[in-house]
Structure 1
Amino acid sequence: MRRYVLYRRVSSQEQGKSGLGLEAQERDIQLFLDNYADTPYLVVGDFVETHTGSDNDRPQLQAAIALAKKEDAVLVVSKLDRLSRRVSFLAALMEEKGLTFKVAQMPYADAFQLHIYAALAEQEKCFIASRTKAALQAAKARGVRLGAPTYCVKALAAAKKQKALEDAKKVEGVIVPLRKSGASLRTICGVLNASGARTSRGNDFNPQLVSQMLMRLEAVA
């Protein structure tokens, strides 16, 4: 009988965000168990943790990993970033002897695919930080008085347009090849969301947004 250990995680900032709550993760994991788990199966542990994904020192995760190895069980998470947002940490887990894990939203993903998705999630995190810093520096160089209520309409519109283009470039390496290969907008959204990537507002990608991103990238090509 195949054994499974379940792990769910939220950070304090993510508690109320759509798609990241504990109930949503529980739903995704249950769908995996109902449709993709070896049968019969047995859940031997269920761990929940409130902790940031950038910190790998998480007691509940370590307990879940230890139990999975002890029981020769498969560790199951809803999304890849519930394990970690760091490629190095995920790569180490993939190579850890005696440990097997599955991502509920990507039931057929192999180690290579999971590594690519992890790199995408980490790149997004780094990009957000560098983009914010660059945008402030560029605005200051143009003479924009940061924090002042003047320069409203034109400056904000230009900044919004530039930000939208940069958001599109952030996932260009994923959405453009998929679209060229004939993937639907909904399929592209599924790949992005399953990887743990988020929009600049912290939401899931949707077909309308991906379509707009593709048009923006095409306009500057």
Structure 2
Amino acid sequence: MKNVVAYLRVSTGKQERSGLGLEAQRDYITTAAKQNGWNIVAEFVEAVSGTVNPADRPECSDALGACKEHDAYLVVAKLDRLSRDVEHVAGLMKRVEVKVATMPNADNFALHLFAALAQQEREFIVQRTKDALDALKQRADDGCDESVAKINRRTQALEKGQGVATGREGKATKAAMAKAVTFNASVKPHVEACLYNKCTTLQAVADCLNTKGIRTSRGSIWNPTAVRRLMLALDLPFPKSE
């Protein structure tokens, strides 16, 4: 039975506190150990960005030390738990034999190929994200032409008195509605940017808008209720999980 040292990594402290991702990684490693006759002699858990060189991570360094002490493999659930940087992975493989729970029979050559593909995909994702955020920022800077067009159509409808009272009260109502439509349209690109940045709850969107310095039409900070009303008014749903 071959000794192995398990290394688990999450990207944020919040994920570490919630256990999100760690349990799945542990299950992968435990299952692979049973199937391949590995004896897990130690486990190391770390909350750190995958961009940091594994050699510079405290827990990973301790895991490498444990591998040397126990003459063990280093085991991770998936290769990206080590790194998506092919140089980082290659450097680590010079120091210890690496096993990946989701592909336990892969040799160093195969792992190098997977690391190269993962790095390329990461670069594609970074570029796609940058392009999309630049486009959203441009829409925000331009005042979102599409939303402005909607404002004009709604304002024209208001001016014709469609669906509102007449007289002084009607004018006040039309003015308030036009102001609300204008404000919502100005905020829409920022909400879209928050959603694109994987804000998946009302509170997350509120925090995102507050961080940007955006305030409600009344000058207050955003809360989940205000965000819900805004998203309903703009007909903006949360993106579906992949």
TM-score range (shorter-chain normalised) is 0.5 to 0.7
Overall identity of the aligned pairs, in %: 45
**2:33–2:39 Cα contact (<8 Å) kept:** no
Look up the match of 1:58: 57
**Structure of greater relative contact order (alpha carbons < 8 Å, 6+ residues apart):** 1
Partner Cα separation in structure 2 for residue 105 and residue 144 of structure 1: 42
8 Å contact from structure 2 (residues 33, 40) kept in 1: no
Q: Distance in 2 between matches of 1:134 and 1:113?
A: 32
| 1:103 aligned residue | 100
Is this contact kept in 1: 2:7–2:63, CA < 8 A? yes
| Stretch moving more, 79-88 or 124-133 | 124-133
Query: Structure 1 regions of 5+ residues with no counterpart?
Result: 157-200, 206-221
- Superposition map of 1:35-46 within 5 A: 35-37=35-37, 41-46=38-43
Assess if the C-alpha contact under 8 Å between 2:5 and 2:73 holds in 1: yes
Structure-1 separation of matches of 2:60 and 2:124: 27
Shift of 1:14: 7.7
The alignment yields a C-alpha RMSD, in angstroms, of: 3.4
Q: Which has the larger radius of gyration?
A: 2
- Which residue identity lines up with residue 36 of structure 2 in the other structure? Y
- Report the secondary structure of 2:52's partner residue: coil
What letter corresponds to residue 117 of structure 1 in structure 2? F
> How far apart, CA to CA, are the structure 2 residues paired with 1:109 and 1:101?
9
Amino acid at match of 1:116: L
Distance in 1 (alpha carbons) for counterparts of 2:133 and 2:42: 47
**Distance in 2 separating the partners of 1:113 and 1:147:** 48
2:75 matched to which residue of 1? 76
Alignment correspondent of 1:212? none
- The 5-angstrom pairing of residues 182-201 of structure 1 reads none
**Runs of at least 4 residues of structure 1 off by over 4 A?**
135-140, 143-147
Q: Secondary structure at the match of 2:83?
A: coil
Q: Could you state the TM-score of these two structures normalised by the residue count of structure 2?
A: 0.53
Cα deviation, residue 101, structure 1: 1.5
The 8 Å contact of residues 144 and 151 in structure 1, kept in 2 or not, is answered as no
Residues 80-95 of structure 1 aligned to structure 2 (within 5 Å)? 80-95=79-94
TM-score normalised by the chain length of structure 1: 0.58
Q: Tell me how far apart the structure 1 counterparts of residues 105 and 5 of structure 2 sit (CA, whole Å).
A: 18
Aligned residue runs from structure 1 range 143-182, under 5 A: 144=139, 146=141, 148-151=143-146
Report the structure, 1 or 2, having the larger helix content: 2
Contact 1:25/1:78 (8 A) holds in 2:
yes
| CA deviation string 1:109-164 (max 9, x = no partner) | 12121111111221122222222334456788xx85547344269xx9xxxxxxxx
CA distance 1:121–1:13, shift in 2 (3 Å) = farther
Structure 2: state its 5+ residue gaps. Answer: 150-188, 190-238
Deviations 1:67-89 (A, max 9, x none): 10221111111000111121101
Residue type matched to 1:94 in 2?
M
Letter of the structure 2 residue corresponding to residue 101 of structure 1: V
1:113 to 110, 115, 128: 110
